[in-house]
Chains A and B, each alone.
Chain A
Amino acid sequence: MTRYAEKNTCISGIGQSAIYRQPTVPPFRLAVDACEAAIADAGLTVADIDGASCWPATPTGSTAGMGAASIPDVVASLGLSLNWHCAGDMAAQLSPILNAVAAIAAGYADHVLCWRALGERWVPSYGSAAAAAGGARRLQVPGWMDFLLPYQAPSAAIWTACHASTHMTRYGITREQMGAIPIVQRRNAGLNPKAIYREPFGMDEYLSARMITTPFTILDCDVPCDGATAVVVSRLDAAKDLRKPPVIIEAVGAGTGDRLDTWLGRSDYPHMAMHDAARMMWSRTDLKPKDVDTAHLYDGFTWLTLSWLEALGVCGEGESGAFVEGGTRIALDGDLPLNTNGGQLSEGRMHGFGHLHEAVLQIRGEAGERQVADVRVSAVGNGGGSLGGAVLLRVAS
């Protein structure tokens, strides 16, 4: 038996709700839709689900916001009977997958329902909520934000932009190079009926788009939305004869960082926790970056995707600008198709689980018009700053 428990697990089912840019359906309802769809996709019934995991830790009663579906509420709506559940953080948006692997290894569960539910359009955006909180004479939230809000930095766009300037200045990476990512992803989104934005744009439009915070324009920032994605992580032995072929979890990685309490304290700044997550993932597999057929990398802001390419070793340090330049290499028919569903920049901020869902579709050959030929291995990387998680998926051989 392998030392690494994820190799004895798989993704057996996936489900995703509709995705909305405007408040339309209560987000908790979307979460239940996604969970039911994932269980059905696996060919399982509610009675088969004996574990549950979500991220982030979501208070019971939440129906919208960054976490729109708590474990107790999903249990109640689906009538689940669990042996195990966990909403702990260890690998950013991909935490439920790593926690599910651990639970299966421990024998707590065979089929773990994992979800990520967003209801961001029903509440003030993260940045405006933080900014509003900052209007008070004294902040009410101690900790990391204490060191940011006094400096008018309520948004991750600003924090990420500072890191981007360091990296792009050091290696001479240009906005024109970076712009290949949103342009290619929008073209991919044109083949994804669920994507919020599907109209293509070119380099002129990219370069003249409304500036948010240098070097990020509005086209470099992902699209807050309502929607939910669920997957079932199963013990491989228990998934061999299910409805769909299992998608093997070949390796996982968690961003453990040298300081988890700040984005700024790493000895290797502007590297992020993603570099630790990628390193851990590759340490658990014989596969190499060259074996990856499609990449599904976090794009909350475009530069994070550049950084993920380097963290994963797809290209060398400082080489991500040249790697994506012109978009040929990362296009659907390129060497490494990237964010084939349009990513969070076009499909909507499904917050990591959108990337995971798309990777499973590609490996199964179910990605429709945007299907890449002969996908055997897909890499998923999620998170920025002190958050990082990575999963390598492959076909069952």
Chain B
Amino acid sequence: MTEPARALPQISEMNQYFWCGGVDGRLHILRCGPCGTYIHPYAERCPRCRGDAVSPQPVSGRGTVVGFTVNHQAWIKDVPVPYVVAIVELEEQSDIRLMTNLPTTPIEAVKVGLPVKVYFEPAGDIYLPLFEAA
């Protein structure tokens, strides 16, 4: 596989679960053990119950496109346009939203309300979460 023309995040102790967790084929999001609240991006305490029993948990990887744009501007050298940038809301909790791309879904098929599922693009130890029409 060729090197993806993407910038890749700095991996830290705080975000490794998200960027590298896809090695098992599943998306991982922080969750409060006692109250079940999902939290993204990372935080040290649960914003609902203030508890500290927060740890990464696998989620279904299913969600819905709640907003998107078809970008035509060539911001980044060597990245072909147009391409879709979308906000996906995970089915587990409505305020867990990820900005993402849908590279394998035809642009004309992307719409608000589109059900999607996660897949991963490996790059070294990183498994970049991307989405496609479910």
Interface positions of A (Cβ within 8 A of B):
127-128, 131, 133-142, 144, 146-155, 157-159, 161-166, 169-170, 210-216, 261-262, 264-267, 269-270
Which of B67, B85, B95 contacts A166 (CB under 8 A)? Answer: B67
Q: Is the CB of A127 within 8 A of B75?
A: yes
Do B10 and A142 touch (CB < 8 A)?
A: yes
Q: Is B134 an interface residue (CB 8 A)?
A: no
- Name the one of B68, B77, B96, B99 contacting A135, with C-beta atoms under 8 angstroms: B77
Q: Confirm or deny: B41 has a beta carbon within 8 angstroms of a beta carbon on chain A.
A: yes
Smallest CB separation, A150 vs chain B (Å): 5
Partner of A159, one of B6, B73, B99, B101: B99
Given that A214-B69, A214-B70, A269-B66 are contacting pairs, would A158 and B85 also be in contact in the complex, using a CB cutoff of 8 Å? yes
- Chain A residues, CB < 8 A from B29: none
Asked whether A151 lies within 8 Å of B76 as measured between CB atoms, the reply is no
Residues of B with C-beta under 8 A to A165: 67-69, 112
Q: What 17 additional pairs, Cβ within 8 angstroms, besides A146-B9, A159-B99, A164-B67? A: A138-B10, A139-B7, A141-B10, A142-B9, A149-B7, A150-B7, A150-B8, A152-B83, A158-B69, A162-B68, A162-B85, A210-B72, A211-B72, A214-B70, A261-B41, A264-B99, A267-B94
Q: Does B71 contact A (CB under 8 A)?
A: yes
Contact call A154/B41, Cβ cutoff below 8 A: no
Complex CA–CA separation, A153 to B6 (angstroms)? 10
The minimal Cβ–Cβ distance linking B38 to chain A, given in whole angstroms, is: 11
Which residues of B in the span 9-54 have a Cβ within 8 Å of any Cβ on A?
Answer: 9-10, 12, 15, 40-41
Closest to A128 in B: B75
- Tell me, yes or no, whether B116 is within 8 Å of chain A by CB: no
Q: Can you pick out 18 interface pairs between chain A and chain B where the beta carbons lie within 8 Å of each other?
A: A135-B7, A135-B77, A142-B9, A146-B10, A147-B9, A147-B41, A149-B7, A149-B9, A150-B9, A152-B71, A152-B83, A152-B101, A161-B85, A162-B69, A162-B85, A213-B85, A214-B69, A265-B41
Taking CB atoms, residues of chain B closer than 8 Å to A214 are: 69-72
Given contacts A153-B85, A162-B67, contact A269 B95 (CB under 8 A): yes
- Residues 104-133 of B at the A interface (beta carbon under 8 Å): 112, 128
A142 partner residues in chain B, CB cutoff 8 A: 9-10, 12, 15
Residue of B with least CB distance to A157:
B73
In the complex, which of the residues B40, B71, B96 has the most CB atoms of chain A within 10 Å of its own CB atom?
Answer: B71
